A and B are shown apart, each in its own frame.
Chain A
Amino acid sequence: MSKSIMDWVDARLPVTALIKSQATEYPTPKNLNYWWVFGSLALFCLIVMLLTGLFLAMHYKADANQAFDVVEHIMRDVNYGWLLRYMHANGATFFFITVYVHILRGMYYGSYRAPREILWWFGIIIFFLLMATAFMGYVLPWGQMSYWGAAVITNLMSAIPVVGEELVIWIWGGFAVGDPTLNRFFALHFLLPFVIFGVVIIHLWALHAVHSNNPDGIDLDEHKDTIPFHPYITIKDLFAMGVFLLVYCAFVFFIPNFFLEPDNYIPANPMQTPAHIVPEWYFLPFYAILRSIDFLGSFSKLAGVIAMIAAIAILFILPFLDRSPVRSFRYRPLSRQLFWIFVIDCFLLGWVGYNPADATRFNGALPLIVVGRTCTAIYFGYFILLWIITAFDIEKPQPVPKSL
């Protein structure tokens, strides 16, 4: 009976063939390690965010006079509103954790290299969209950090020559961040996740066209070196999801405000900026890069904005900067060292971004702005050095296995 129904459907929409080719018989490398689970974890986060976000939107009001109070109404009055909000707020944090690990995994194992450039590019587009969505979502509770975070980030546009000032007023819908800004940000915050979902599908399409990279970074023999996606990878992803949920739920239920700023529980006040504005942790390294360009006089602002955007945009050309004959850093000693310096550097940038702009260490002997500038140089230095050591054959890769 079910077979005949399936036959009837397949004759009209080849579902069985799709499941077969893309899941049960889709070949995956047999040596994938646990760093490869973060893609599906990120997808899981997206689904959690879409679901909790949809239900939060049913209680939220995008009105500058009501937004702050309505978030408290969700927290106190709405049944399980606290859970929805904490899942959503912490979900953003965990979404970024999985995405950052996912990107770094791609960088370490050379997953951006040919023939996976388009796959990589769509990943970066998702990352850009994710940051825009997270930024606009953070404005919605309309607390002090929401308001001033929005003010600082929208003001970045004013650095654009000639049209900058006009552009900012257009984005605000007024002469300052206000009710029109909140309203449009809510509309876009609702829309963008679905755009992300669409780009994720393209990302997966690109993945399934060229197939997964693997820890050895070599091209595989489809018969000898691969295993079917289902059940081998699905079960591994599910196990990882269990571990992920343990950590996520620990935050949601026991320290839900760990990543939130106390100042955001103060209603937005356009007349007073908090003493110390910090963005959410996932923007901190880029924020530090923005602030570290302060030595160019009147060009500092524009240069800082360009540097911050370049810090992400440079990922687009990474596939062409890396000229090594070997993909995986497992067989590239020099690249591997650079990579770990880069990772440590990102954490340092985050720490600099978290501190006030004029903070110092060692009784004023070490202004953090100097640390920020150095770390910014190292950040971009990674990409330049990676190009130099591979384009001029300075790095001697170790022998790579022929197959698994």
Chain B
Amino acid sequence: MSASAHSTAHSHSPVPEQPEEESRRDFLILATGAVSAVGVAGAAWPFIRSWSPSADVLSQATTEVDISALGKGQMITVPWQGKPVFILHRTDEQIASAKKGDAEKLPDPAKDAERAQKPEYLVLLAICTHLGCVPQPIGTGNFGGFLCPCHGSHYDTSGRIRQGPAPKNLEVPFYAFKDDKTLVIGKSVG
């Protein structure tokens, strides 16, 4: 009944309301689509975010190391946030070699003084900036420094990239000397 009434009403008006109906419907479809896209994105976020480091992983922010027993020329590897960190007590030759490197043309220019708070201690994140391998200890590379065995990157005695595919110098993590004997790697968060 109502359907036939509708069609009668339509036949009276010379211009059908079709175009207006269409644009109204288009708007509704578009609006519904936009709202559901936001909904899907919102629903996806917890799933995506669940892959990010969890609270317990984030809590492993700092590592304290006793460096009193570390003699000249000795190097230790300590874990920090599950990553290896080299602490090298540099010899005079190693410091001299690092200073000499300051004047060279470097792929990733940096002064040794900026990289070592105290010249005798070099603290490096032992993760090759190429693809994340752990470089071999001091003295294995071509510049008296570290060789990454995976793809042949050579770092000097300041941990700067000198040869090979790695794009950047070995990262220097945030660290501080708590006292003469204790080194703290990392910064507590929160």
Q: Which residues from chain A sit less than 8 Å from chain B, CB to CB?
A: 148, 151-152, 154-156, 158, 169-176, 178, 180, 184, 270-277, 291, 293-294, 297-301, 304, 356-358
Q: Mark B80-123, 1 if CB is under 8 A from A, else 0.
A: 01111000000000000000000000011000000000000000
> How far does the Cβ of B103 sit from chain A's closest Cβ, in whole Å?
19
Which residues of chain B are near A148, meaning CB under 8 Å?
133, 150
**A270/B83 in contact, CB under 8 A:** yes
**B165/A300 in contact, CB under 8 A:** yes
Interchain CA distance A274-B135 in the complex, whole Å: 10
Which residues of chain B are near A176, meaning CB under 8 Å?
81-83, 127
**A170/B83 in contact, CB under 8 A:** no
Q: Which residues from chain B sit less than 8 Å from chain A, CB to CB?
A: 51-54, 57, 77, 79, 81-84, 107-108, 127, 130-136, 148-152, 164-168
Interchain CA distance A46-B136 in the complex, whole Å: 40
Given contacts A152-B150, A357-B151, A358-B152, contact A178 B52 (CB under 8 A): no
Which residues of chain B are near A356, meaning CB under 8 Å?
149, 152
Given contacts A169-B53, A356-B149, A358-B152, contact A151 B165 (CB under 8 A): no
Interchain CA distance A276-B127 in the complex, whole Å: 16
Which residues of chain B are near A272, meaning CB under 8 Å?
77, 84, 134
Given contacts A298-B107, A298-B168, A301-B130, contact A175 B81 (CB under 8 A): yes
* Of B81, B127, B130, B136, most A-chain CB atoms within 10 Å: B130
Which residues of chain B are near A293, meaning CB under 8 Å?
165
A-B pairs, 5 with minimum CB distance: A155-B132, A357-B152, A358-B152, A298-B167, A294-B165
Given contacts A152-B150, A156-B131, A357-B152, contact A171 B165 (CB under 8 A): no
Interchain CA distance A356-B133 in the complex, whole Å: 14
Which one of A169, A275, A297 contacts B149 once the chains associate, using CB atoms below 8 Å?
Answer: A275
Given contacts A291-B151, A301-B165, A356-B149, contact A271 B57 (CB under 8 A): no
> How far does the Cβ of A55 sit from chain B's closest Cβ, in whole Å?
28
Which residues of chain B are near A298, meaning CB under 8 Å?
107-108, 167-168
Which residues of chain B are near A297, meaning CB under 8 Å?
107, 167
